[in-house]
Amino acid sequence: MRSQPEWQWLKVSWTCSSERDNDTCQGNDQVDLHTQLWHECAGLTVKVPRVGDKVFYFPQGHLQQVEVYMKQEGMSDIPSYGLPSKILCKVVCVQLKAEVDTDEVFAQITLIPDFEEPKGSTFRSVPQKIPATSFRKKLTPSDVIKQGGCNLHKKHVDQTFPPLDMSQDAPSQELFAKDLHGKIWNFHHICRGVPKRHILTTGWGKFVSAKRLVVGDTCIFLRGQNRLYVGVQRAVRLNKLSTDLSCVNMQHGILLTALEAINTRTEFTVYYHPRISPSGFIVAYNDFMESLKVNFSPETRVEMVLDEGGEEPEFNLKKFSGIIIGKEDVDPSRWPESEWHCLKVCWHGTASGDVPPKRVSPWSIQSVVSVPQPQKRSMIGEGIRMKEVSIPKVNNIPREDDERSKKCRVFGVDIGGHRISNTHPPDSSNAGNQQSSYIKVLKHGSFVGRCVEVSRFSGYGGLMWELDRMFGFQGGLVSGTSGWIVTYNNNNAAAADGDGDANKKLLGDVSWSEFRGVVRKMCICPKEKEEAATWNKISG
Amino acid sequence: MRSQPEWQWLKVSWTCSSERDNDTCQGNDQVDLHTQLWHECAGLTVKVPRVGDKVFYFPQGHLQQVEVYMKQEGMSDIPSYGLPSKILCKVVCVQLKAEVDTDEVFAQITLIPDFEEPKGSTFRSVPQKIPATSFRKKLTPSDVIKQGGCNLHKKHVDQTFPPLDMSQDAPSQELFAKDLHGKIWNFHHICRGVPKRHILTTGWGKFVSAKRLVVGDTCIFLRGQNRLYVGVQRAVRLNKLSTDLSCVNMQHGILLTALEAINTRTEFTVYYHPRISPSGFIVAYNDFMESLKVNFSPETRVEMVLDEGGEEPEFNLKKFSGIIIGKEDVDPSRWPESEWHCLKVCWHGTASGDVPPKRVSPWSIQSVVSVPQPQKRSMIGEGIRMKEVSIPKVNNIPREDDERSKKCRVFGVDIGGHRISNTHPPDSSNAGNQQSSYIKVLKHGSFVGRCVEVSRFSGYGGLMWELDRMFGFQGGLVSGTSGWIVTYNNNNAAAADGDGDANKKLLGDVSWSEFRGVVRKMCICPKEKEEAATWNKISG
DNA sequence: TTGTCTCCCCTTGGGAGACAA
DNA sequence: TTGTCTCCCAAGGGGAGACAA
């Protein structure tokens, strides 16, 4: 039997307090819940610039998206109109939306050509995220057949849904969840049966049929302080025959729109469909510049991370490794020497499932300095579910030379096996600046991190803990002189080490509830032992 | 109780004999059933060129369609790229399709720029239509509520559906109808109740919900020899937010595609959505040339026919009359002196319902030579339902000066009241050509005709009878020297008069099962009485 | 003749625990 | 703990004649 008072409370609390929950875009300083939901649906590797960012717009990538969108193969034979392969722009407006009929996410991005190179630091503070928790449910056959509801995982419900009064026989509540269109969906959430399990009953069937969900699709629940959100991520794209206008018409239009925008220095708007073309054609200035510094000569071993969807956010990411086999123009006649998809990669062991594209852009991959040996997988760091990990106790911290610290993989990235030096930098040429130090990059890889509660990770110790835990050291580096260099979110460079406040300025005033980017394992070591590794200077 | 043997027969007969019924495009000489269904759904005033036709393509009209399609108001400020306002093209390919999700009809037309003016006669034989009958059902509340089926009109069923064995208590049959996508829909057709009525039961509900039909939408059934077809025509357009690409992107693309096609003399493809922009932006060469001859000076009284949908094919057409109030460029800076929508019209008595646009193109309207007086409606010619009219008996033919011939309106067009001259042409300057004669246009108007049985109207007497009957004279002009000049279907000019074979060559070998176009009432009269009327020369 | 109603059957949706993976 | 099953009840789809417009 449903408890009427609780239902009343929830209805009031969860649907009528939109003024307390920020679910619409309000400026550039907050990651609102709509945006968080959109990114969950888009995939964890998708990057969307923020208003004010300097970006490169690659028309070739845009044309390619249209071809996939229209299901036309091969490059059309249209002129380049003298358009350069990349156009430096400033982001004027970003709207994160979803298709009305298919719920496919897309970003409407307004750009204005601005060829002025950014001066000085391009660092931008990471926007404050509105505290939220979320979980993903990959739908089983039972979830989508007409006869049943949706089975939920206990831990997901406990972490994300409002608590039920478990003293009751079959506690239940009404949930009201907003989708990306702003539509409110009503679900009856009940904990019943022997043994007890959490089920979404009334309302679930309507949702499944309305969204045309099938087995394998993923349903995403995101809970803010006062409101619940729901999104979907399909395993296979719904057919959407767009017969409005011809593919060639659109491609002409895309190029000409950009050309006119350049000539008149006016805004133009593009639509980015991350589920169609994961390799975005709008690339952050910093990302692009960083990728230029890397030497992607043939034989270079590279890695690329794809988001393969599924249930656990951390395990959506699958890393592929391969070897550069060449660098050549995709379209030498129209866009010679374009960086877009200029690298040819031979990927290893990608017999089944998603495969990275044979052609990639430099900013989409990372070069691997040392070729890792095939290692036996260690349980440490392998398969850690962040939300299950509690804050490590002090007596749990492994020594640096602990066997566990030497062999570990996180998200498919080999991390351990390198000795961490405790040596302080011997050569402080700019000794006057106490916040300066040299670090040596030993290891690097892409990552996406996330915490259950923001408060738990406030401050830089929290960040360090999070990073350490992600890479399997469980706090071993929280105090010490080694640390990590981090390139996060929109490619703002930052560093975190065990010295607490040393890099505080670099990090800015951020809440590390979620961050994604590239982490490089570093340790402070004698400069003369430079070897083939990369040296970076971190200054406060 | 359903009769199993009959069901078997129908299933075999109606679904497994596609080789006997021509429902796909096969060349240019036949109007197949798919095409007939498409035109029923598109509206009776919609003109689509045929392969090989010479047409003018108006980029302005195309841009306008995109704006309506994308629900953006006002002309975008994009350059004309030096594109002319109209482009003479040859039609390379025409495909009549429907949107997958909304069933909205559209034509995919491939054109190739071809600036050579047509030489000699532009007459093209009217394609042979595959014999078919059809009816339209405007859906009532009872038809679309979940509890019921679809009530059918007895005459419609009798004319169009395969006959039932009425000796049975509740005769029934299974109907299998193909829609514009080729999908087969199954309907149980039963004649039951006291008194007997025809109802579609099983299968109807699925159809209604799948097509998202609501009260006021029209359902169209078309029966060929071996197969049934079903189409829908919505009262209001379904929302279809097309957020794929920006409106401006598309408009740029449209202009550039055309420009490139001109420069390289290559094909380009456009999509014409007649339900969005009824005034098509692809105009037959002949239609355009004819419209140039008309003097649309201010104060000229004009008429325009709109298809307002509904149940009876002949009464879908509503005529509006108005007065030219000006002629000016829609877009003087980009396309000066373009004929597209250059005429400003003030329409009379259009307070409610659909209103013709204030701006029209010359080929979309007809000028009215004499301002008709407000007349009392005559029952003759008013509201004739063609399918109910039997072939008139000889003793029923009214005399030319019969009162009934003077006052009649058909489809809102004033027809009667003009004396028909029996005078032969006095001046045969090219007397050597026996098939030449001068005719004077007295009266004209748009029309759509249709016959129940093709055989009934074979030959030119049949056509004359059809025209006469439509305009209320009921055979009065079948013999005589007056007649009609007809511009039909794809704007092939032809004439028919009462002399039987005189214009046989002009008409070609056609079955007049359906024709649409412009009819001008003519009579042969002395040249010196030319007055302000237009003279046309008809040569065999 | 045909639109709408009510009646009523029977299919289907969907909520429950049982049970097994 | 959670996916799938079966059971079973309730809602509603839909087929029938009655009746009125």
Q: Which of residues 197-256 of A touch strand C (CB under 7 A)?
A: 199, 201-202, 204-206
Average pLDDT, chain B: 67
DSSP code per residue over A146-184: TT--EEE-HHHHHHHSPPP-TTSSS-EEEEEEE-TTS-E
Section A89-105 average pLDDT: 92
> Does the CB of A145 have a partner CB in chain B at under 8 Å?
no
Kindly determine whether residue A268 and residue B254, on different chains, have CB atoms separated by under 8 Å.
Answer: no
Omega before B195 within 30 of 0, i.e. cis: yes
> What's the gap in Å between the CA of B234 and the closest CA on chain A?
19
A499 vs A478: CA distance, rounded Å: 8
Nearest residue, CB atoms, B253 vs list A106, A249, A270: A249
Section A68-78 average pLDDT: 71
Give bridge partners of residue B95 from the DSSP assignment: B108
Answer yes or no: is A398 CB < 7 A from strand D.
no
Two tokens, residue A69: 């969108």
Nearest CA-CA partner of A394 in A277, A510, A478, A288: A478
Q: Which residues of B464-500 are buried (b: 16+ CB within 10 A; e: fewer)?
A: bbbbbbbbbbbbbbbebbbbbbbbbbbbbbbbbbbbe
- For the stretch A427-463, pLDDT in tens is 333 333 222 222 222 333 333 333 222 222 233 333 4
Picking from B106, B256, B271 by the largest number of A CB atoms within 10 A of its own CB, the best residue to mutate is B256
Q: B246: which chain A residues are within 8 Å (Cβ-Cβ)? A: 257, 268-271
Kindly determine whether residue A256 and residue B260, on different chains, have CB atoms separated by under 8 Å.
Answer: no
B313 vs B43: CA distance, rounded Å: 9
> What's the gap in Å between the CA of A151 and the closest CA on chain B?
29
Judge whether residue A181 has pLDDT over 90. Answer: yes
Nucleotide nearest to A209 (CA to C1'): C13
Reduced to 3 states (helix: H, G, I; strand: E, B; else coil), residue B326 is strand
pTM above 0.95, yes or no: no
Which H helix or E strand runs over A323? Answer: strand A317-327
Section B113-131 average pLDDT: 76
Two tokens, residue A183: 């539509």
Judge whether residue A473 has pLDDT over 60. Answer: no
Kindly determine whether residue A271 and residue B243, on different chains, have CB atoms separated by under 8 Å.
Answer: yes
Q: Which pairing describes strands B172-178 and B228-233: parallel, antiparallel, or unpaired?
A: parallel
Section A5-11 average pLDDT: 31
Picking from A249, A270, A271 by the largest number of B CB atoms within 10 A of its own CB, the best residue to mutate is A249
> What's the gap in Å between the CA of A70 and the closest CA on chain B?
10
CB A460 within 8 A of CB A450: no
Compute the residue count for chain B.
Answer: 540
Protein B178 CA to nucleic acid C14 C1', in Å? Answer: 34
Nearest residue, CB atoms, B100 vs list A241, A249, A255: A241
Nearest residue, CB atoms, B256 vs list A108, A256, A268: A256
Residue at the smallest CA–C1' distance to nucleotide C4: B142
Judge whether residue B67 has pLDDT over 80. Answer: yes
pLDDT-wise least confident of A150-159, A212-221, A311-320: A311-320
Answer yes or no: is A171 CB < 7 A from strand C.
no
Picking from B111, B249, B264, B277 by the largest number of A CB atoms within 10 A of its own CB, the best residue to mutate is B249
Query: What pLDDT is recorded for position A314?
Result: 62
Nucleotides of C under 7 A from a protein CB: 1-8, 12-20
Kindly determine whether residue A251 and residue B250, on different chains, have CB atoms separated by under 8 Å.
Answer: no
Answer yes or no: is B151 CB < 7 A from strand C.
yes
B91 vs B114: CA distance, rounded Å: 9
pLDDT-wise least confident of A117-126, A312-321, B359-368, B507-516: B507-516
Kindly determine whether residue B270 and residue A243, on different chains, have CB atoms separated by under 8 Å.
Answer: no
Kindly determine whether residue A244 and residue B242, on different chains, have CB atoms separated by under 8 Å.
Answer: yes
- For the stretch A357-397, pLDDT in tens is 889 999 998 887 654 444 333 222 222 222 222 222 222 22
Task: Give Cβ neighbours of residue B91 (< 8 Å, ≥ 6 apart).
Answer: B49, B50, B51, B52, B53, B54, B55, B109, B110, B111
Protein A141 CA to nucleic acid D10 C1', in Å? Answer: 24
Query: Higher confidence at residue B157 or residue B394?
Result: B157
Q: Which whole-number Å values give the CA distances from A363 to A56, A415, B465, in the listed order? A: 12, 22, 76
Query: What pLDDT is recorded for position B181?
Result: 93
pLDDT-wise least confident of A54-63, A193-202, A240-249: A240-249
Kindly determine whether residue A66 and residue B245, on different chains, have CB atoms separated by under 8 Å.
Answer: yes
Nucleotides of D under 7 A from a protein CB: 1-7, 12-20
Query: What pLDDT is recorded for position A367?
Result: 83
Query: What pLDDT is recorded for position B147?
Result: 78
Q: Which whole-number Å values give the CA distances from A217 to A211, A312, B371, in the listed order? A: 10, 13, 67
Answer yes or no: is B269 CB < 7 A from strand C.
no
Nucleotide nearest to A151 (CA to C1'): D2
B315 vs B134: CA distance, rounded Å: 15
Model ipTM? Answer: 0.63
Nearest residue, CB atoms, A250 vs list B79, B101, B253: B253
Protein B205 CA to nucleic acid C11 C1', in Å? Answer: 14
Nucleotide nearest to A143 (CA to C1'): D3
Query: What pLDDT is recorded for position A109?
Result: 95
A32 vs B82: CA distance, rounded Å: 46
Residue at the smallest CA–C1' distance to nucleotide D17: B193
Query: What pLDDT is recorded for position B457?
Result: 29
B181 vs A135: CA distance, rounded Å: 40
Judge whether residue B108 has pLDDT over 90. Answer: yes
Two tokens, residue A367: 């070069």
Q: A257: which chain B residues are within 8 Å (Cβ-Cβ)? A: 246, 248-249, 252
- For the stretch B22-45, pLDDT in tens is 555 445 566 788 999 999 999 888
Q: B66: which chain A residues are within 8 Å (Cβ-Cβ)? A: 245
Amino acid at B11: K
Protein B138 CA to nucleic acid D14 C1', in Å? Answer: 21
Q: What percent of chain A has pLDDT over 70?
A: 57
Q: Which whole-number Å values give the CA distances from B232 to B158, B219, B315, B520, in the listed order? A: 21, 5, 18, 32
- For the stretch B170-207, pLDDT in tens is 888 999 999 999 999 999 999 888 888 899 999 999 99
- For the stretch B195-250, pLDDT in tens is 888 999 999 999 998 998 988 899 999 998 778 999 999 988 876 655 566 778 88
Query: What pLDDT is recorded for position A21?
Result: 52
- For the stretch A310-336, pLDDT in tens is 777 666 777 888 889 999 998 888 999
Picking from A57, A65, A252 by the largest number of B CB atoms within 10 A of its own CB, the best residue to mutate is A252
